[in-house]
Amino acid sequence: MFQKLKRHQFLFEELVKRDFKKKYKRTVLGMLWSILSPLLMLLVMRLVFTQFFGRNMDHYTTFLFCGTLVFTYFAESTSEGMAALVGNSGIFTKVNVPKYLFLFSKNVQTLINFGITLLVFFLFCALDHVRFTWRFILLVYPTACLMAFNLGLGMILSALFVFFKDIKYLWEVFTRLLMYMSAIFYSIDSYSQLTQYLFLLNPIYLFIRYFRKIVIDATIPTIWFHLLMLAYAGISLGLGCLMYRKNNTKFLYYL
């Protein structure tokens, strides 16, 4: 895979540039939307949920931002990745290139947006008087796992979207439901221990929880927490690669 990626490096770079420019084409603010979008979502949640959930919670703004940061990256990456094959069918049906290049380019574009927003997140942490520690370096781990998870899920969704166009609408409903199930604006500490364990079945909550432990609690999650996160990323990426390999030739007949 990496050899093919290196062989088609020029095409890959051009796809990333194209996707990034296309996203903000004919917009007044351009790249600033990658920052404003999660900030506006954060502002709405801050105004709406402070009175209900954040009255007695320290660093509630940072708590909210952790959730919106991770969830926005996940939602954007998977939604953009879903259309990777269908949107580029005019290229790979005529030229023999690895199909995962198109999905990779989408993920790099969303990763850049995530990186820009992450810098703003650190600024908000400073304004919220969050203490910066060496543990912040460990945020590289959940970011890498989330990137792999998004990539694998994007491969699955983009393959399904070729055969079933309804998947787009189903995914929109699912992501909205997932947002409320990921404890973005509320804490689960008051729930029973069993319920808290059940939340860990949601990979997005797991990534959000990791960010909060490092940033707000200044603690390092346990080893099984790391392993569970790695397992989610590995399973998603493995299933995605398997689906691409199994349907590699079928894609051409449906596009």
The predicted structure's pLDDT at residue 53: 57
pLDDT in tens, 162-182: 888 888 889 999 999 999 899
pLDDT in tens, 120-171: 889 888 888 899 999 999 999 999 999 999 999 999 998 898 888 888 889 9
Q: What is the mean pLDDT of residues 209-231?
A: 95
The predicted structure's pLDDT at residue 148: 95
Would the pTM of this model clear 0.85, i.e. be above it? no
Q: What is the mean pLDDT of residues 176-204?
A: 91
pLDDT at 93 over 70: no
pLDDT at 23 over 70: no
In contact, 107 and 77? CB cutoff 8 Å: yes
Model confidence at 42, in pLDDT bands (50, 70, 90)?
low
Domain map of the chain by residue range?
A: 2-254
CA distance 108 to 43: 26
The predicted structure's pLDDT at residue 119: 87
